[in-house]
Chains A and B, each alone.
Chain A
């Protein structure tokens, strides 16, 4: 159930961020998932999402994957010393990552787009956290 909801949110983020809103909302999905689930296949998700984003946004394919993986690498380093399962972390990190992404890919409305990404990320984090807390301990991801 969680995976289904998460997949839908991710696909929605992908299409919204490439066709409607000039903000990298997919960053929010990757961060929220990494923070909550800490699974190695987040790397696969980041790779695939990056490829799809590049195709839909007319970037050179592979660039966004590299960015997302770099972002995950930074989170892996950060989590060794600090707690990352918090709203503060998701908001601040997604905001900074979105700013960097928007700057590198010449997106308009960098500040507004970053705020939107941070809010989107915290929203996904909240939804997934609520869903996760309602599952029995054994079934939690």
Chain B
């Protein structure tokens, strides 16, 4: 006759064990978490790189080149406008929006959870750099001069990036062309809006939106490209106007991003 194992004592044992682990983790006292992460994240990275192969094979090289060229031109335009503004204000010290390279930490993308990979838009990104590489929560993540997101959560050897299209993302920004200030908010599914722009300011479709580098966002430098305006929503009866935005970078296709460390 088969011996039956009593379930209840075991159930209570694992419940208490889980509570203990949770308590230790809450107080940063859990040992071995980093070791497990070290073992697991490379496997995840390998699986992610393998899964990307079919999508990379189907990419038109000409389209890819044009997209890169377009991004480069937009970056140059932003830099040129900035130089013009600087000259106009008679600044005696040259300032540039380019980020010093010694502050850029290259990070490999190891995961991009979305509902249908490659088709639906992701709202978070996993990268292979963590606290052991001086990555901290709140640091901006860029690709060239475009803002991709902000470090949301960090473990020893990996970090979770909150992408700019994530519903929880928001930051102050301004248009490059008219310097109209507003707040960029992610609305999910690869979309974001520029909100809280006063009616007296001018917004045009195609305008580039850049970071403002406000004091409350000290980690985010001024002049990073957030995206471009694709549609303006202006209602004369409302206090503010808004605009739908689009990122200039195809985040799903990135295999490497850069974290701005300090």
- In order of increasing CB-CB distance, the 9 nearest A-B pairs are A62-B22, A19-B111, A62-B21, A61-B25, A65-B18, A58-B153, A40-B5, A109-B115, A22-B113
Inter-subunit contact B7/A40 (CB<8 Å) = yes
Interface residues of A in 28-87 (CB under 8 A from B): 40, 43-44, 46-47, 50-52, 54-56, 58, 60-63, 65-66, 69, 72-73, 76
Residue among B6, B24, B44, B123 making CB contact with A19, cutoff 8 Å: B44
| Most chain B Cβ neighbours within 10 Å, of A17, A19, A40, A112 | A19
Once A20-B113, A21-B117, A43-B14 are accepted as A-B contacts, the answer to whether A52 and B21 lie under 8 Å apart by CB is no
- The reply to whether A76 and B7 contact each other, CB–CB distance below 8 Å, is yes
- Chain A contacts of B22 at CB under 8 A? 60-63, 65-66
How far is B126's CA from A15's CA once the two chains are assembled, in angstroms?
Answer: 12
Given known pairs A19-B47, A20-B48, the reply for A69 and B25 (CB within 8 Å) is no
Docked-complex contact A55 and B115, CB < 8 angstroms: no
B115 contacts which of A50, A51, A54, A113 (Cβ < 8 Å)? Answer: A113
The interface bits of chain B over 73-111 (1 if a CB of A lies within 8 angstroms of the residue's CB, else 0) are 000000000000000000000000000000000000011
Number of interface residues of A (CB under 8 A): 35
Contact A18 B123 (CB under 8 A): no
- The interface residues of chain A lying within 8 Å CB-to-CB of B123 are 108
User: Can you report 11 residue pairs joining A to B where beta carbons are below 8 Å apart?
Assistant: A15-B47, A18-B113, A19-B47, A19-B126, A20-B111, A21-B117, A22-B113, A40-B6, A46-B14, A51-B36, A62-B22
Rounded to whole angstroms, the CA-CA distance of A60 and B27 in the bound complex is: 10
Query: A118 in the interface, Cβ–Cβ < 8 Å?
Result: no
Q: Which residue of B11, B23, B26 is within 8 Å of A73 (Cβ)?
A: B11
**Interface SS of chain A:** helix
> Does chain B have a CB within 8 A of A90?
no
Q: Is there a chain B Cβ closer than 8 Å to A23's Cβ?
A: yes
Roughly how many angstroms separate A137 CA and B19 CA in the complex, as a whole number? 39
Contact call A76/B11, Cβ cutoff below 8 A = yes
How many Å from the CB of B176 to the closest CB on chain A? Answer: 30
Tell me which residues across on chain B come within 8 A of A65, comparing CB atoms. 14, 17-18, 21-22
Q: Per-residue CB proximity of A3-17 to B under 8 Å, as 1/0? A: 000000000000101
What CA separation (Å) do A47 and B19 show in the bound complex? 11
Chain A residues positioned under 8 Å from B47 (CB to CB)? 15, 19-20
CB pair B21–A108 under 8 Å, yes or no, is no
The answer to whether A21 touches B36, judged by C-beta atoms less than 8 angstroms apart, is no
Asked if B15 lies at the interface with its beta carbon under 8 angstroms from chain A, I say: yes
List chain B residues, Cβ under 8 A from A62.
18-25
Contact B21 A61 (CB under 8 A): yes
State the CA gap A53–B21 with chains docked (Å): 14
Residues of A within 8 A of B191 (CB): none
Residues of A within 8 A of B126 (CB): 19
Write out, one digit per residue, whether chain B residues 26-38 have a CB within 8 A of any chain A CB (1) or not (0).
Answer: 1000100100110
- Distance between Cα atoms of A122 and B139 in the complex (Å): 42
Nearest Cβ distance between residue B135 and chain A, in whole angstroms? 13
Find chain B residues with CB under 8 A from A63 CB.
22
B21 CB contact (under 8 Å) in A17, A20, A23, A51: A51
Q: Are A18 and B7 in contact (CB under 8 A)?
A: no
